[in-house]
Amino acid sequence: MPHLKTIEWVDDKVRIIDQTQLPVNLAYVDITTIEEMFEAVKTMKVRGAPAIGVAAAFGLYLGIRDLPDNESMSNFITELKKKAEYLASSRPTAINLKWAIDRMQASFHSIEDTLTIANVKQILLEEAGHILVEDKKSCKAIGENGFEILKDYNTLLTHCNAGGLATVEYGTALSPVYIGKEKGKVFHVYVDETRPLLQGARITAFELKEAGIPVTLICDNMAAPVMAQGKIDAVIVGADRITANGDFANKIGTYSLAIIAKAHSIPFYVAAPLSSFDISLKTGNEIPIEERDADEIIHGFDCRTSPSDIQVYNPAFDVTPNKYVTAIITEKEVIYPPFEESISEVTAGGLLI
């Protein structure tokens, strides 16, 4: 359904949509070095947990592509680990980034003794390609599973962007919407603007409009009255990290939205691939929360909106406790409470490979 290519491997480079220019310009940027990928992730030219994972996989390959093939394997592995740590530091909250980097490093270890450095480089490039293809498949599966839950609803509310532009293609929270259109069911989607960087207004509204989905944009602080007026049947959001008990981190403002939905007896769904689960963390209290520059709030989009010397607190994410979550929609199945038990069952086979 979505026709925009968020990230792809073209002519030995990574091509991404520069999402900082949306919705005014649909511009593509070619990434040729790990430093350029670090900057693209850090500045949110590429964003959304699954897309960041794919970007990191290709970014790690770019970081080692030009290392000498005649170097010792031990030195090569040392340099690979340094590049991996560097790239993983670009954004700390979305677990998909670290998941993809760990998976890349694990892709050749079982046969390391029989490989040349040139072999390892090729394996890493192929593994990045596999991660990209799997993201497409998993997001479409999330959409299929989610549609079965949402098909009797008409209006949905979402926060931030968890659509095609946050992944390789279908998205997570918006995937059921796109699957629905393919099946002849057209949802009406209400979109929070998502302060302070307006990912909902700039990105979600843009991609839904492009796809021909009815969309209504609201300010973040309008969610409660919109729900009270009976305009929302269900809320669906993405996730940047889900812990073993079902607590999850998502864009700042998600927690309050979940509380409001609970107060109005509106179901609240989370849609995410298994790569977004971090079962090494017991609860959401352990999730590292990224704090971003104060200028995003006081001088966003080249317009000063507060005194220049004001103190600012700018966390990019918040954590929603599992008690507010109706279900978690994954590519494998829909996970229901009690989450600690059901997540353990779904992830029993492991998440890395």
Which residue among the candidates 135, 220, 240, 247 is catalytic per the annotation?
240
Residue 240 CA to residue 21 CA, distance in Å, equals 22
Residue 206 CA to residue 24 CA, distance in Å, equals 10
Residue 136 CA to residue 117 CA, distance in Å, equals 29
**DSSP H helical segments within the chain, as ranges?**
34-42, 49-64, 73-88, 95-106, 117-150, 175-182, 199, 205-210, 223-228, 254-263, 295-298, 339-346
240 a catalytic residue: yes
Half-sphere exposure (CA, 13 Å, Cβ side) for 320? 32
**DSSP H helical segments within 254-353, as ranges?**
254-263, 295-298, 339-346
The amino acid at 174: L
Residue with tokens 């393919």: 182
The amino acid at 256: S
CB-based burial, 260-273: b 16+ in 10 Å, e otherwise: bbbebebbbbbbbb
Catalytic residues: 240
